[in-house]
Amino acid sequence: MASDPVLEILRERFGFDAFRGGQEAVTRALLDGRPALAVFPTGGGKSLCYQLPALLLDGPTLVVSPLIALMKDQVDALRAKGIAAARLDSTLGPAELAGLYQDLDAGRVRILYIAPERLANEAFRKRVRKLGVSMVAIDEAHCISEWGHNFRPDYLKLAAFCRSLKVKRVLALTATATPKVARDIRRSFRIAAADQVQLSFHRPNLDLRITPCKAEERKSVLLGRLASIEGPAVVYVTRQETAEEVATFLGRQGVDARAYHAGLPDEFRADAQQSFMDGRTRVMVATIAFGMGIDKSDIRAVIHYNLPKSLENHTQEIGRAGRDGQPAICEMLACGDDLTVLENFIHSDTPSPRALENLIDRVLRLGETFDVSIYDLALTTDIRNSVVATVLAYLETDGILEATGVFYGTYRLKLLRTRAHALAGRPPAERKFLDRLLDAGSEGRSWLGFEPSAIAAELGVARERIVSALSSLEASGDAALSLSGVRHGFRMKRDPGDLKGLSAALAETFSRRESADLQRLQQVLGLASHRGCLTAYLTRHFGEKLATACGHCDRCRGVPPTVVRRAKPRKASDAEWWCVRELVRENHAALGTPRQLARFLCGMSSPASTRARLSRHSSFGLLADLPFAEVLAIAEAV
């Protein structure tokens, strides 16, 4: 009987005698030329589902992943198996980039990892279309759904991109897709329901617990729990300040703990993560910035110090415990005081209709071709960067705009040799052009500043020639370059029509998303108050019905449910009203509207208030413990 090449590669390249659950069904669907959706829990072996078929297909496989660190780990692991894999991300220098493109053009790359943002580059899209891509795998595919818990605007463009490549084989991968999100993914990539392969979310080694507690007793409860557990633990918190506070408390109590959050410098985060992975740090106190791509098998506990903002987040985070199959505790310290902060975060992310109208007006009156800085737009409209990016993505998917590329607006160059030495040995025409270019730079103390678009217009050449010339000086070792000011290029594809109507439709979309996020928080409360099996409650959320109760959660042990209630909201004091009035009299431009003022008083920074350094103001977060609606009413009244 003829041998099966699929099983041969599984054994020879990956070292497995048999597939794990679900992997073969997904692999066979792709090899048969059909798109598929794999909903596998964390650690379920999703990567093999595209890595194996990639070795049997003619053209290269493109893998879209949002995490640079995870891409690097995957590429290193594949190369160790003798598989020609590469990654294309922002850490590659000009020489590495040129080498990668040569390998791609020569057909020497089987699997290429990219970030979704890379698809904003028109030149990259054109290059990929010539490669004869045989399959596209999309990791964290739930990000495509605006009703998912971790929506990312660049994911909205992936379906159209795959269709433009005329690739039949698309593999969507996720560990957290509700039935509604799964339907969104299938519809976007035209995946048949029969080709959705979903594994059970029930992990028998995870002990689910919910412990009600008051805010003032949470630290002592946490300390006691960690004392009763041996081995590494992750403690999840909502705010960066809480991560620092709790890690410091644990350290003073003799627990080896570190804080991890997005506000720390890169080197601090990297050191904290490595220390935890190596076993030098036992407890990581972290915001959700920590965890994606972390492959530590012996985590014995995941404790939610603060309520998670959704059941999807909760499931993804507890999925990092007990990957070695040994028992692990997953506990939520349920405190009603968290609700106000979580709700306020949701409200602060929703732009006002007026701000959206301002943004749309600014962008869609820039002409047929233009470029914008998301950072600058966020400042001028006081809408968060991520929301500005989402609006631009909506305009693309609606066919109004087309992305042409992402580039840096400002280059700074420092000559490492004299100008004569740097230009010596170059062809006369190139030397003459570089002389003109260096003369056009604005002089600083030790750097020359260049805005390639403006200088290209001044010298009457293409912007690409300016960038290429500056890069050649760096590549030859004659200069050092520093790039800043990311700008996004677009062209208008069609008349947008009534801008006010377009803005109103977007405002309605963001309002619906706000309601959906608030509903997700209510589902977390529903878990705490659920009378039956907690594992069954979670699996049902993801469309799975357990045949019997799990037998290893609080409810199955007879621990009664708890209703998480917030403390009765207090009223703002006369002194606080006075502080708010004084703040208004200071006439800060960044706090010019009631919504801006309310966000500030709730302790939620915005692009404009951050730029104005108002987070240091004594009134920042003055009313953080009050519901957003009440703070907004105060802001409208003063």
- Higher per-residue confidence, 317 vs 145: 317
Enter the tokens of residue 546: 């357990």
- Residue 360, by phi and psi: left (phi above 0), alpha (psi -120 to 50) or beta? alpha
Collapsing DSSP to helix, strand or coil, 599 comes out as helix
Residue 565's pLDDT band (cuts 50, 70, 90)? confident
* Model pLDDT for residues 442-452, shown as the tens digit of each residue: 988 889 999 99
Q: Is the pLDDT of residue 582 over 50?
A: yes
* Model pLDDT for residues 458-470, shown as the tens digit of each residue: 999 988 899 889 9
* Model pLDDT for residues 608-633, shown as the tens digit of each residue: 999 899 988 999 999 988 999 999 99
Exposed/middle/buried for residue 187 (C-beta within 10 Å: 0-12, 13-18, 19+): exposed
Q: What is the pLDDT of residue 147?
A: 66
Residue 146's pLDDT band (cuts 50, 70, 90)? low
Average pLDDT over residues 508-527: 93
Q: Is the pLDDT of residue 262 over 80?
A: yes
Q: What is the pLDDT of residue 153?
A: 79
Q: Is the pLDDT of residue 69 over 80?
A: no
Q: How far is CA 387 from CA 37, 341, 371, 375, 513, in A?
A: 28, 20, 18, 11, 12
What is the distance between the alpha carbons of residues 226 and 249, in angstroms, rounded to a whole number?
A: 13
DSSP readout, 163-226?
Answer: HHHT--EEEEEES---HHHHHHHHHHHT--GGGEEE-----TTEEEEEEE--GGGHHHHHHHHH
What is the distance between the alpha carbons of residues 198 and 606, in angstroms, rounded to a whole number?
A: 39
Q: Is the pLDDT of residue 148 over 90?
A: no
Q: Are 412 and 171 in contact (CB under 8 A)?
A: no
Q: Is the pLDDT of residue 1 over 60?
A: no
CATH classification of 5-198, choosing from 3.40.50.880, 2.40.340.10, 3.40.50.300, 3.30.360.10?
Answer: 3.40.50.300
What is the distance between the alpha carbons of residues 524 and 255, in angstroms, rounded to a whole number?
A: 29
Q: Which CATH class is domain 206-337+532-541?
A: alpha beta
Single pTM value for the model: 0.84
DSSP symbol at 531: S
Residue labelled with tokens 């240091």? 616
Average pLDDT over residues 316-333: 93
Q: Is the pLDDT of residue 411 over 60?
A: yes
- Torsion angles phi and psi, residue 171, rounded to 5: -115, 115
Strand partners, 402: 491
Q: How far is CA 534 from CA 60, 316, 375, 542, in A?
A: 43, 15, 43, 13
Cα angle for residues 293, 294, 296 (degrees, 5° grid): 145
The residue among 32, 65, 71, 42 whose CA lies nearest residue 136 is 65
In the chain, CATH 3.40.50.300 sits at 5-198, 206-337+532-541
CA 528 to chain CA centroid, nearest Å = 27
Enter the tokens of residue 397: 């998917």
Q: Is the pLDDT of residue 487 over 70?
A: yes
Strands 369-372 and 479-492: antiparallel
What is the distance between the alpha carbons of residues 315 and 312, in angstroms, rounded to a whole number?
A: 5
Average pLDDT over residues 245-271: 93
Exposed/middle/buried for residue 547 (C-beta within 10 Å: 0-12, 13-18, 19+): exposed
Average pLDDT over residues 568-591: 93
Q: Is the pLDDT of residue 298 over 90?
A: yes
Q: Are 153 and 386 in contact (CB under 8 A)?
A: yes
Percentage above 70 pLDDT, the chain: 98
What is the distance between the alpha carbons of residues 592 and 595, in angstroms, rounded to a whole number?
A: 9
- How many other CB atoms sit within 10 Å of the CB of residue 576? 17
Q: What is the pLDDT of residue 224?
A: 96
CA 133 to chain CA centroid, nearest Å = 25
Q: Is the pLDDT of residue 2 over 70?
A: no
Q: Which residues of 338-400 form beta strands (DSSP E)?
A: 369-372
- How many other CB atoms sit within 10 Å of the CB of residue 132? 13
The residue among 296, 337, 367 whose CA lies nearest residue 214 is 337
Question: What does pLDDT average to over the chain?
Answer: 91
Enter the tokens of residue 83: 């598989």
- How many other CB atoms sit within 10 Å of the CB of residue 151? 20
Q: Is the pLDDT of residue 99 over 80?
A: yes
- Higher per-residue confidence, 279 vs 122: 279
* Model pLDDT for residues 179-237, shown as the tens digit of each residue: 999 999 999 999 999 999 999 989 999 999 999 999 999 999 999 999 999 999 999 99
Residue labelled with tokens 């964290």? 140
Residue labelled with tokens 């802001």? 635
* Model pLDDT for residues 283-296, shown as the tens digit of each residue: 999 998 786 667 78
